[in-house]
Each structure stands twice: as C-alpha cells, then as structure tokens.
Structure 1
Amino acid sequence: MNKLRRMIPRFLIEKISSYSYPKKFFFGSLVIVAPILITTSVAFFYFSNNQMLQWFLILFSLGLLLVLYLFFGAVYISVMETIYEFQSAVQKWKRHNFKARVNIKTKDELNEIGIAFNEVASAFEEEIEEHKLVRYVSEQALRKNNQLVTAINSLDLGVFISEEVHQGIKMIYVNPGFEKTTGYSEEEVLGCDLSFLYGKKTSPTARRKLEEAIEYKRPISIEILNYHKSGRQFWNHLSITPVYNQNKEFVNYIGIMTDVTKQKLADQKIYELAYFDSLTKLSNLNFLKEYVNQQLNAGVQHYAILYIDIDRFKNLNSQLGHDIGDIVLQQYAVRIKETIKTSNGFLARATKDEFVAYIPYSGKKKFLNKLTDKIMSSINTSFQIEQYEFFLLTSIGISLYPDDHLQFEQLLQFAETAMNEAKSNGYKKVVYYERYMSQSYNEIHVLENELKFAISRNELQLVYQPKVSITTGEIVGAEALVRWEHPTMGTISPIKFIPTAETTGLIYSLGSWVLEESCKKRQEWVERGFVDLKISVNISALQFKEEYFIPIIDQVLNETRLDPSNLEIELTESALHDEQQAKKLLKILEGKKITVSIDDFGTGYSSLSYLQSLPIDTLKIDRSFIKDIETNDKSYKLLESIVSMAHSLNLNVIAEGVETKLQLLMLKEMGCNEIQGYFLSKPLYEAELLHFIKTYKRDKILDLYSKVGKGSV
C-alpha cells in the first residue's frame, strides 16, 4: 500500500476523499464504461484502415486505463487510511487510552461514521471520568468516615448516637468509650434511652432538664449523677446535640459523656481545704465570712462576733504533747458549738487555739451576756482525756454589728483586740470592744485634725514596691503605697491613719490624691522611657461606689492623659460585699481597659461565687498565706489549691510578702505568676524605684532557677 501511495499523487487522493459516495459512484460508473470503450476501440483498430484513427484509439484506450488505475488507487488508499484510523483508535482504547479519536479526512459517509465514533468516544470518556470522580469522592468519603469512626472509637469519652422515638430517644450507636464509662456493652444499650443510667440519687431536676431538651430538640450540657453497671456512682458531664441535614430536617442526636468524678472530688477537696478545718471539722474564717454575708442578705440586723481564745494552750501542748492537744481542741470546739447552737450561732476555727463565733441577736447585750456565761460554764467543766484531767481558761472578745463597724473584717479585728484586752486584764473574762482599745480618743482626734492638712502641706508621699514575673524575671509593675511624713510625729504608719480616714470620711480626699498622684507619676515615667510598667493603686471599699468612684477615675485619666491599660485597681474583698453593685462598677472598669486585682485574697469576703461572676483579672494572695508555706504542709496545700483554682478561672496570681528564695521557688512550682515582697525590694521612693528599674537584672531570679536545676541551692 505504501508503494501504491507513492505512485498516486496526494492531491488526487485528497480530492477523491473529499467526494461523497454519490460522486464517487458517478465517476466509478464512467470508469466501468471505460473497458467497453477500450474494447470497442480495439475492434475499430483491427477493422479500420485509417491509420490516424488507429493511433487515436490506442491513445484513447491507454488514457482510459490510466484514469481507471488512478481512480481506483485513490479510492483504495482513502478507504484503507480510514480503516487504519479506526484500527489505531480501537487499539488505543484496548490500552485504556480513552482520549483516542479518529481523524477522517474524507467528506463522505466514512467521515460521518468517524464523527459518530468520536462523539461516542467523547461521551464514553466523560462517563469514565465521571465514574472516576464518583469513585474518588466515594473513596475519600469512606476514608474520612473510617478515620472518623477510628477516632471516635479511640476516644476515652463516651459517644452515642440516638434517634427520636415516641416520648424520648433510643440508642443506635455507642463507641467503646461509652462501654468503658458506663460498663454496659453495645448490645445491652442499643434501642434503650438514658434511663438505665439513672439511680436513687440522680437529680430529678437534671433528669427533667434533659427530657425537656430532648423534647424541644435543644442542645444541652449538664453534669448529672449516673450509675455504672457495677452499681457505683459517677459524675457524668453529658452533652447532647440535635443533628440536622442540609434541608434543616432533624436527623438524630449525638451525645458525648465524660466521667468527671475525679474532678468533682478534687473540687470538693479544694473547697474543703479553702473553707474547713480538718482537725475540728469546723469551717474556717473564709467560710464564716461568706456565711455572715449570706445572713446579712437574708435580713439580719444585728450580730456579734465572739473571738474565743484558750488561755495558756501552748503550755498544755508542751506538757502533754500535740496528740492530747488536738483532742482538747476537738472537745473544746464541740462544747462551744453545742452551747451556741440554740442561739442560731455559727462557730469557726481561726488559728491553733482560737475560735470565732457568729451570734445573731436583737441588739440587746443582755442576751449576749447570758450566752457568754453559758459558754464559760461549759468550758469550766473539767476535760478528761486518757489518764489526764484538767481545766481550761478562756478569754472572749466581742464586737457588734452595726455598732462597732459595718465590715466583717474590721469587726473580726475589733473582737480580737477586745480578746487581747481581756487577757491583759486577767484571764477568764469577757470584754466588749471599745474604740480606745485600738487608739485613744486623743490620738484619733489629733490624727484626724492633722490628716485634714496633710495633703495641702505636702506631707503625704508615695512609695512604690516593684512586682516581678516569676516566669521571665522581668519587672511588670509597681504598687503605689502612701506614707505620711509628719514634721513632729515623724513617719505615721498607714495602719494608723487609714482607719481614721475611713471613719472620718477623709478617705475620699486621701484616696483621690493617691490615685491622681500615682497616675501622674506613671505618665511622667512613660515620657521618660519607662513604658512597660503597670501602676497599681489601692481603693478603699468606701470609695468603691459608682456615684463617686467612676467620675474620679474619668477625671484623673483625662487630666493625666494616662493610658488606662497602664492602671490597675486593687480592691479588698470587702469592697465586693454588694456583689451586684460591684459587678456594675467592674464592668465599667473593664470597658475602660483598667485591670482589677483582689488584694489580700483569703483575708476578707472570700467567696468562690464572686470569682466566677465578676470581671476580675488578678488574685493577690495575702502575705499571711505565704509566711508559713516553708514549714507548714497544710499552708502549702491550701496555697497550691488557691493558685490552681485561680488559674482554672483564667485569673493571674500574684503573691505578696515574699521574703525568701525558698518561698519563691515554691510559688514557681505552684504556677504563681508574679511576686512582690522584700525578697525583691522594699517599697521605694520614686527616684529609688527608677534607679532600681535601670539597674535591675532579671538574672537574680533566673539564676536561682538554674541553680536549683543543677542542685546547688
């Protein structure tokens, strides 16, 4: 065929190929007539005597033969090339090359067949590609589904899927984590609702909330007491969510359960450490403060604080030993508790041998006198422990609400002062607090008069105690503290003049001066290049009132041009006594980007509820919690629990009163964020502070950590 292709001109092949079959038939017919013409010409040639005619007939016959040869050759090549195109395409398809197409150059019916072939091939290729796509998507979905199932099956969490049935749900799938959490196998629970997890102590309220959420197809997350197949109880953090399809039609429920029993027990342990005394089983002062606040909210008009001390208990401990001493404390607590029970009293343990009682009363001391006589009588009865019999002496100090003060912390302090007064005047006495016990009237009068002019005479000065990040060792802020340098009385401690300022109303002008001076100095430091330093200012509970405090804040910030984010307000827990008012004010401060720290945490109105509900940034742990952590394991555990609790609420924690390396290292181990105290620096005047910041090297702290790591401390 290749020789034939070379003998016949290409343009002739293409020309013939371009003809349709009717044309080819017409020309073919002429060629078929050619042999007849040639035969006739030969006959004429033999029978004709005309030589010219004979040559004409010879040439005519040869021409017809040439035309016949060229025509059929071109047709043959055109057809064969088309056949080869089809064969080539088919062979490519056999090799799964579905992109192969035929290229038919004829314009006849073979071309139409080629076009049809190519259309079929294109359609088939599209179906193949679509099939590949569907298979790929299916494989990917299956792979993801398998991954999801594998992931769900590997979870420790219990996962279940349930569908809606009349008046409830029924399980249609549970993962191994569900079986591990509940003890029930998949076969046991499929088709069941959740009631098989309920027991006698399961809260009806929790059950009702679950049923309502399921009925109304609402998502729910709840902690509920459930029962394992073995019968043991476990706390279940259960979340159930309705699932909808793309058409927003309900499909089923998916549930996730987590056994949070250990967390519950840990929370309970923290609560007990924070609020209860393990020896006597009494609440501690933290709980008592919260309890008193609840009673005030319930409408109590008068109450007394009794500060009760066992005289010479230290001698008893030394002579008989701590084991006997502990039993004495337990029996002593029982006697007092039983005595005040009928008076709706509440007893807490304050320190080793000191107790505090809350007693509601009508406002008449006669009732309190009779009650203290009963307490003394119960204590005066001999104690018999093992082979020992002995008597105890007791001193009681009493402060009254609202006669002596409105704040619980101050009443507690006054009652302790009265108790010390009872001790100083001879044992076995009951003494009511009187103002002279804290300060004489003349001293108070002089302080009041002098304090009125202290600001105008420039006798008040600020000192600043640095705060340092435990993690980085960097200085992060400073607390502003006021000092009174009197020209004749010398340096007067804030412990003396702040209470006077509060009782006389001078705290408002004093507090405004401290706030304005602190902010002004801080802004000056910014302009001098000390940028990353937050200034902390103490605000009295009396100042923390909306009608007074917010306008003062706005005025000071406007006048000093201080960035509010550089200011921190330190409040004592007593300032949060009115939680609703406190929340409103704290929200305003939060909006201004002013951070808030709770100062002396643990010594005031300690309530876990306000930590959760109020926008607070930092807990500042009182030095009384820090001082004993090196030697007292209970103090360490309590402080560790407080730090852990604060972090769980996303609160920053700063410890004040840090004085030793060991205290720092223990606080770092607990995860405390910042420290403040004499280990770092005493309170400094402005020039001293700025010099301290310039010369301070954080290596003082970081090197200590590295030494500990090398075991050289």
Structure 2
Amino acid sequence: MLLLSVRQARAALAVRSSLLAAGYNILAATMIVGLLLLEAKGGDRLVLWLVVLALVTVFRVGLSFRLRRFVQSSGVPEDIVRLACITAILHGLTWAALPTLVVDVDMLGADPSVLLIMGGLIAMTILRQAGMSHIAFCFCIPIIVAMIWNFANHGGIVGIVSSFNFMVLTAWMSHLLLQADKAFVDSETAKLRNQAATQNLTIANEDIKHKNLRLEVLANGDPVTGLYNRTYFNGRLAGEIAAAKIGNRQVGLVLVNVNRFKLINDAFGHRGGDQFLAILGQRLKNLVGPDAIMARIGGDEFAILLLDGNVSENSRIVALNMIAPSLAPVTIQGVKVNSGLSTGMAIFPDHAEDAEGLFTCASMALSEAKRAGPRQVREFDLAIKKRIDRQRDIEQDLGEALAKGELETRFQPQIDLATGDVVGFEALLRWFHPRFGAISPPEIVDAAQAMQLSEALTAFVTEQICCLLQRLASLGLPDAVVALNVSPREFALYDVSVMLDRITEAHGVDRRLLEVEITEETILDPVVAGEQLSRLEAGGYKLTVDDFGMGYSSLAYLISLKIARLKIDRSFVSDIDNSHKNKAMIVALVGLGRAIGVDIVVEGVETAADAATLRDIGCNIGQGYYFARPMPVEMLPKWIERQKKSAHDDDISQVAVA
C-alpha cells in the first residue's frame, strides 16, 4: 500500500511537471524562432516547426489535464508515468529536429543564442523534473544528442572540447537528477508514514475513547435487557461459591436458552430481536424474584444464580417456571411470538467444586435439554457428562478412524419376495470403536457433520459401493442395485451429486445401479435439496425414499422426482400377522406405490411368516434378518451362491406341488 502511494505521488508529479514544461517550451521556441527569423534563417520551415511544436505542446497539456483525474484512483500509476514519458519523448524529438532537420545553425559559431536557449531549456527541465528523472531523460536526451551532433559538425578543437564538456555536464546533471529522485522517494515515503502514524494515532485515540465509554456503560449491565452482563455474573458466581465453601451451603445455577431465536432475528431484524430479549429478560427477572441474580450471558442465553433457602428445590422450580406453557407470548411489531425456552441446571457442591466447573455442568445440562427438543428441563448428572464426553471423543476420533480405514461398509441383501432372487443391497456403515465398541450409524453421521467430515464419510461408502458394483456381474448379479443412504442435512453441506458423479466416473460403474436413499424430510425441503435431487435423477441414479410412512411426503415431489422405490419403515412390519392396523397400513402404502408406479421395499422382515404375508399383500422386495444380516463384502459370494441354490430349490418344490 505504501509503495502504491509513492507511485501515485510520482505519477502526480509527472502530470504537474508536464503542465509546467508547456510554458517554458512555448517561450523558448518563440524566442529561438524570432532570433532565427531576424537572421533570415529557416523561413517557412521554421514557422511550420513552431506550429508542430505548439500542437505537440497542446496535446501534452491536454493529456496531462485528463490524467490528473485518474492519478489517485489508478491502481497502476506506472501507466500514467509511461504516457507522460511518451509525450516527453515526442516533445524532445520535435526540439531535436530544429538544429538537425529544420534549420542550419552553428551553435558554437554564428548562433550562440540557440545554444544558450536550448541549453537553458535542458537545465530548466532537469531542475523542474527533480524526482521524475524518467520524463526528464525522455525529453532531454534527443535534444542533447542533436546538440552534440551540431558541435561535431562545427569541427575543430572547439567542437570536440564543447562536445566533451557538454557530455560531462549532462552526466553530472543526470547524477543530480537521480539523487533528486531518491530524495523525492525518501521524502514521500517519510511523509506517507507520518500521515499513516498520525491517522493510526487518531483512530487509536478515538477507539480508546469509544471503548472507555462502552466500559462505563457496560461495566456491570447488559444494554439490551438491563440485566447484569456476563462479566459481572462470572465474578459474582466465583465470589458466591467461595463464600459457600466457607459457609457450607449450596449455590444453584440455571441456564436458559431461547429456542430458535435466529428465526426471530431473521423475521424481525436485530432491532426486533433486541426488543424480544428486553421484554423476555424483564419477565424472567420478575418470575425468579428479587433474591435471585440474573444476567444475560450470551446472544439468546440467560443465567440465574440462586443462593437462599432450599437451593436445589428452588432451582428446579425456577427451571420449570422458565418453560411453563403459561408464559405469555411476546408482542413484537404487533405480532405475538411464543418464547419457547430450554433450561439446564447444576448445583454446587453436588455437581462441581468451582465456578468454572459449575458453569460447564449447567451448560451440559442445557445442551441435553436442547437435544431433547423444545421446552425441556435437564438437571446435570453423570450420565449427561458421560454421554457428552463420549460424543466428543467419537467426534475427535472419527477423522483418524476414517483415514486409517477403521470404518467398515457392510451390505444387507434385498430379495424379490416372489422369486427369492437377489435384486440389490443396502450399504450400511459400521465402526467398532476401540473403547466404546459398536458406534451406531446415526452417531457416526452426527459426528461427521460436527467435524465437517460428511462428504469424506459418504465418499468412503460410495467408493465401497462402486467396488461392489464392479464385482456383481462376475457374481451373476449384473442388474442388482446397491443403495447409499444420504442424510438430509448433507445436501446443505456440499453438492452430493458432484461427489457421486466424480466417484462413479472414476470407477466406471453404471449410475443406474447406484440407488440414493433419502428420507421424507429431504423431499419436504426442496429449497436446500430440490436442485441436487433433480440433478441426481437426471444423472441416472435411482432415488428411493427411506422410512416411508413415518413423515409427510408430498406426492407431487414423489412423482416429479421419479422416485424408483419406497421403503416402508420396519415399525409397520413388526407383528404384522397379529396387527390389523399395520397390515392395513402396508396395504394402503402398496396401493399408493402401484398408483404412482414405484416398487415397494419392506424393511425388518424377521420371519418366514412375515415374508409370506408381505408377498401376499403385494410387496415387491424384502430386506431383513430373515434373509441375511448386513455382511462384509468378502462374505457376499458364498451367501449369493447359497441364496441362488435356495431360490432354485424353492422353484423346483413349487413345480412339484403343481
């Protein structure tokens, strides 16, 4: 930035010097022409030369005026300097033409006035262009060469000595010009640094004043709600715990969080959000009473310190009162907004021995309450800490496990209920943690999203699927599909279609054999996933809706996306022979599938009776422990061979019975 400013200053100097040079050039040219005309030299050619010089001077002046407007805004001031140099060369060449092409003069003989004026012009240029040697050299060098040429034509010892002296004088003046350039750069740099230092000091001074003012206002209070702020609350919490240790008494801490506060900010703006917090904060303060210490410790988080009476019981009462449905809605800009809250609580010394530990325990309890859903209360216990510690360790270990290949993809077969043929597989992720044992797939997915590993995790499973697809033809199943589960939240984290295209293209597999399983939740969020789902369908992948019947799928989206299969959730298959409701539900879903032209896959087939009932109802494909558990890819060849033999034996039995 400093270098750019110096270059801009040099560009400004170049423009100014070009403007000043115009006057000297016109004056010098007029004097020379007048003197030569008096001596009857040059005639019309001399007048024509004066006109050309005037035009060049006017062009140079006009260009300089135009460039003045762009000096400070130009990001490449060197371009302005180059233009100034070009016009200076043009000017210098015009002057050089005078003693060489236009008129026959002898500067060392009959025309010393020409030598005096042109030499003065060179000296004036060098003096006025101090700091801009580029332009001075461009202007003076053609004139100097022309004058030395004139000296040489004069001949004799005078011409030789004059040429030599002129060259020495020119070299010395060039040296002075370069020194002036360096002095200009040093001076401009020092000036800019001083300006920057002054500006920084001014900004720092204003910043200090502003911060001091804020510190005065916010020393103890929150400006939005009028409650205590986090700094004051933390100090008070530490002090009360120190006093409680001496007095052998309890201290209760309740944390309160506003559910989905971001939506309020998005709907009403930050001013509306602040208004909401101010009203809510005062209501909560009135609710907990004058003896409790209450503060706003974060954007949408409040903290309450309870010290008197039965602290444990009072803390539970306060926590429950915070989420009471009777808490009236807050009116913002004429709109009533329900303030759904979640609360977490912890007690000193039951749960922690110091202020930091107590705050951590209450925060864990609050996180557990929020995870459980809106309007929940949680009191800290060791189970919460154990679960959160476990979750943290899983998240931290996932990246290394993925890199080391410790995760495993297993495949559960899908069977045609009518023929017993294998028609596909579902890829299921497995991870056996060295400390925690088997980690459930939802935990793995949640950990991947927390650690920003979702794409890497799904890409790993996709690689395994592609490797299996390359083998299935040799196992006699060229048309079998393999299903990949994609969490609805993944569509908001990265482009699933791009990742799948990249991997399937690298492996050269038929995309029609890769089935993407999504949930009804994904279909119901077309803003996030709609475009990607359309690209997946257009790319040739099969789309399957998993756990169908558990949500609220839009039939319009099912039809528009050309869903290939609907997977009925296992909860409907449980005890299907004895549950008329479940059987009726599956019959209805099968009818819906037929109506929109999609296959029905039923999960959770556990017994032969389940398989027979589902086949009679009209289900196409079954998946469950009755057929096979999820298995490593190495076990598939033998299992496929046994399944083919079993299906063949069943066909023979049916023929014999017929």
TM-score under structure 1 normalisation?
Answer: 0.39
Q: Which has the larger radius of gyration?
A: 1
In terms of fraction of residues, the more helix-rich structure is 2
Q: TM-score, normalised by structure 2?
A: 0.42
* Higher share of residues assigned strand: 1
